[in-house]
Amino acid sequence: MKSSFELLLVVIATFSTIHIVQPQSQQGFISLDCGLPANEVSPYKEDITGLQYSSDATFIQSGKPGRIQPNLETRFLKPYTTVRYFPDGTRNCYNLGVQKGRNHLIRARFLYGNYDGLDINPKFDLYLGPNLWSTVDLHRLDNGTRREIFHIPTSNSLQICLVKTGETTPLISALEIRPLGNKSYNTSFGSLSLFFRIYLSQSDTSLRFPNDVYDRQWSSYFETGWTHKTTASDVRVSNNYEPPKAALKTAATPTNTSAPLTIDWSSENPEDQYYLYTHFAEIQELQANETREFNMFWNGEKYYGPLVPDKLDITTIYGGTPESCKGVRCSLQLIKTNRSTLPPLLNAIEVFRVIKFPQPETDENEVVALKTIEATYGLSRINSQGDPCVPRQLMWDGLNCSNTDVFTPPRIISLNLSSSGLTGNIAAAIQNLTQLVKLDLSNNNLTGELPDFLGNMKFLLLINLSGNDLNGSVPKSLQRKGLELSLQGNPRLVLSSPSTKPHKKSFVVPVVASVGSVAILIAALILYLVLRKKRQPTIEVVCPPPSRPTVNVTNANSPEPSIEMKKRKYTYSEVMKMTNNFERVVGEGGFGVVCHGTVNGSEQVAVKLLSHSSTQGYKEFKAEVDLLLRVHHTNLVSLVGYCDEGDHLALIYEFVPNGDLRQHLTGLEYLHIGCTPPMVHRDVKTTNILLDEHYKAKLADFGLSRSFPVGGESHVSTVVAGTPGYLDPEYYHTGRLGEKSDVYSFGIVLLEMLTNQPVIDRNRRNSHITQWVGSELNGGDIAKIMDPNLRGDYDSRSAWRALELAMSCADPTSAKRPTMSHVVIELKECLVSENSRRNMSRRMDSLSSTEVSMTFDSGMIPRAR
C-alpha cells in the first residue's frame, strides 16, 4: 500500500498529461496568467486544456513580471511558466469580480522555477480577503504547488492577497476562478480546502477541463492489493456534482474479495475536520446470482450503508456535517456485507478540510466609498490593497476602524489624508463613510466650498480642513455645538452669517459608549442636576465593603455632589487636552465614541462621549450614573471624573488595556449579595468583562442594570433587554427579571471561556453554545469540548466540574440554577484542584500569585474599593 505522503504527492502533481474530450463552456471562468509580459498575446488559448488565459495586469496594481528558467518551460503548461513577484509592500492583492453568494472554486498556483536566478524558494502567506487562507512554502517543491478552495464570497468582489512574512519575495504563477453549481458542495459551516481529489485508475492521466465542466483536477491513484475495473460504456452523470465521465469509467476493488477497500491519510492537526464526497457507479456486468453491497466506515465507525451502486449511474455519498479523525490518522473503509458476493468498489473520491474564515470583510459600501475617494484624488498607494481594516496589522495608511465581533463587519471611524497632495473639491464619497468620527484633510490644495453633508454626518466629531484654499461661507450645519472644526489657513473662507459668533473649537457631545476591540470598556458618571430636578422617590442602593464603612456615596436627593466628585469635575478644555484633541479613538458603540487620554501626566484614562443622536444611550447613561455613584468594587470599572459643561458631557474612566475577556469575576456576586437592594446587571457577556494591566477582571457597562425592592420578591417585571445568546430564555418569555438571569448569562460566558466557541454560530449544527456543548457532552469526550489551544493541559476532573457548573448556570429554568455565591465556591474549588495538579497548592488565605489573581480574589467575599 502506498503511504499517505505518496498519495499526496500524486494529488499535488498538477502538471500531468491531460485527457481531452469535446469542448465545454467557460462562462464565468477567470483564468489569469500571472506575470504574462505585455508584448505577448492576451487572451490566448492554452493548447492542451483549451482554456482561455488572460494577463493579470488589469487585476492588480503592483508586482513585477518574471519567467521561470528556459530549461524548465517544456515541463509545464504555458500559464505556469511566468510569474508575478512582489518585491515591494507587505500585502499585494488581486481584485476579482465574482457572484456574491455563489460557491466558487478558487485555485492559485505557485511555481518558483528559479525565475530570479537566486535559487531561493520563497515562503509567504496567502489571504482570502481579510482571513489567512494558507502558508505557501516552496522549499523542495520543484514542480510547484497549488491551493484550491470552495468558497462562497460575501460580496461581488473577491480579494486574493500575498503577504510577505520573511525575507523572501512572494510570487504567483496563475489564478483560476470557476463558479460552481448552486446545489453542490454545500456545507454546514466554513469553506472547503482541497485535501485531495482522485479517481481510482492505473492510468497516469490527470483529468481536468474540458473533461470536468468545473475544471476540477482529478489525479489518478492506485494501490497494490487492488484490482482495476474499467468499462467502455458511458456512466450517466445525473447529480449536481458532475464528476468527469472518464473518472467514473474506472474503479478499484480489493483483490482479496473478503478484505476492505481502504483509503487513509495523515492529518497534521487532530482538530481538523473533513468532508468526504465519494462517487460510485457499478461498471461491471453482474450475473443474476451476484450482488455488490457494502458499508462505509470512517475511522472504525459506520458512516453510511448498506450501499448498492447503480448500474452505469452515479451515486455520490457525502456527510451533512464534517468529520474529524481519531488522532492524526484518517481512514475510510468500504466493507462488504454478509449477503454480498462481490467486494466493495470505488470510482472516485474528494476529501476537503474545513477552513473557517471568521473575520468579516469591512462594510462593502464603505470599501466602495474609499476606492471612490482614492480615484477622485488620483491616489495610488501600495498599502491600499486588500481589506482596508483587517487584519489590523495590515490596515491601510490613514485609517482607523471600529473593532467588532466576528459577526459584524468593521466600520471606518477615522480617515486621515493630511498632506496627501489632494486637489479639487471635497469628495462627495466621504459622506458614505457613515460611521466616521474623525476626518483630517489638512495641508492639501483643496478648493471650492464646504459641503453641507459634512455637518449631517451624525458621528463626525472632528474635522480638520486647515491649510487648504477653500472658499465661500461655512454652512450652519458645521457651526453646531459638539463639532471640533479646524479651518485656519483658508483665508477665503467666511462664516455664513455676520451675527454668528466667532467659530470656536468644539467637539461632539460626549457619549457613553462601548469600547472596541482594544477592549477599553468604560463605566459611569452622574447627572446630578437632572436627577435632582426629577425629585422622584428613589431606592437607595448601598453596597458596603465587607470590612469598612461606606464612604463617599452621594444620595440622589443630596443638594450637592460629594467633595470627591467635585474634585473629579473637568472642564471641556481639560477633556480636549487630556485626549490631545480626541486624537486616538479606541472604540465606538451605541452611545458614541471612546477616546484614549491621560490625566496628571501619567494616568491613562478612557473618555466616553455622549452622542446627540443616541436617545436610548442617554437613558442608559443615566441608569449607569445612578448605579456607579453608589457601587464601588475592585472588579468594577472605576470612575475617574466627568465633564458637565453645557452640551458637553463626558465620562472619564480608568483605562483597561488588556481587552475584554472570558474569565470569572467576583464583581457579579458582589452586585447580587453585597448591595442592598441587590442589583442585576442584565448584560453580562465577555465583551463587558475587561482586563486591566495586571489581568484583573472588571465588570463594565451598567446601562441596563436594575435594582430590586427589599423583601421576599425574587424578581421584578421589566421590559426585556440584553444581548441575544446571553439572554435568559425565561426572562425573555415572561419579562420577569431576577438574579438568576445574570447567572444564566454568566453560564454562557463560562462556556465561552472553556470552549473558545462563539455563543451563536449559524454554521454549526447546534447553533447555540448550550446546544453544542450538550450534544458533545453526550459523547463523553471532554477533549472535543475544551478549548483546543489548551492542548489538554488541564485537570480533567476540574474541567468536567466547570463544564457541568456552566451548564447548570445556563439551565432554561431559573429555579434550577445556582446562586452566584455557589458559583464562586465551585469555581474556586476547581481552581484548587488545578493548582494542586500543577504542584502549586497554597493556603486559600494567601492566593496572591499572578496566575491566581488573574481569575479570583483571595477572599470568599469580594473586596470593595
Q: Which one, of 523, 563, 828, 534, lies nearest residue 669 by Cα? A: 828
438 is in an annotated binding site: no
Q: Which one, of 552, 848, 821, lies nearest residue 678 by Cα? A: 821
Amino acid at site 357:
F
Q: Measured between alpha carbons, how far is 484 from 576 in angstroms, rounded to an integer?
A: 10
Q: Measured between alpha carbons, how far is 477 from 517 in angstroms, rounded to an integer?
A: 32
Number of helices (H) and strands (E) in the chain: give both, helices first: 14, 46
Antiparallel, parallel or unpaired: β 261-266 and 329-336: antiparallel
Q: Measured between alpha carbons, how far is 574 from 205 in angstroms, rounded to an integer?
A: 76
The answer to whether 461 and 440 have CB atoms below 8 angstroms apart is no
Q: Please confirm whether the linkage preceding 502 is cis (ω < 30° from 0).
A: no
The answer to whether 817 and 672 have CB atoms below 8 angstroms apart is no
Amino acid at site 420:
S
Q: Which one, of 435, 394, 395, lies nearest residue 412 by Cα? A: 435
Q: Is 119 part of the annotated catalytic residue set?
A: no
Q: Measured between alpha carbons, how far is 580 from 598 in angstroms, rounded to an integer?
A: 9
Of 215, 272, 387, 683, the catalytic one is: 683
Radius of gyration of the chain (CA): 32
> Which residues lie closer than 8 Å to 821 by C-beta, 6 or more apart?
669, 672, 673
Q: Measured between alpha carbons, how far is 502 from 509 in angstroms, rounded to an integer?
A: 19
Q: Measured between alpha carbons, how far is 752 from 756 in angstroms, rounded to an integer?
A: 5
Q: Measured between alpha carbons, how far is 767 from 758 in angstroms, rounded to an integer?
A: 9
The answer to whether 447 and 491 have CB atoms below 8 angstroms apart is no
**What is the separation of C-alpha 276 from the centre of its chain, rounded to a whole number of angstroms?**
26
Q: Please confirm whether the linkage preceding 729 is cis (ω < 30° from 0).
A: no
Q: Measured between alpha carbons, how far is 206 from 18 in angstroms, rounded to an integer?
A: 5
What are the beta bridge partners of residue 399?
Answer: 415
Cell of 447: 478648493
Q: Which residues are catalytic?
A: 683
Which residues fall in the annotated binding site for ATP?
608
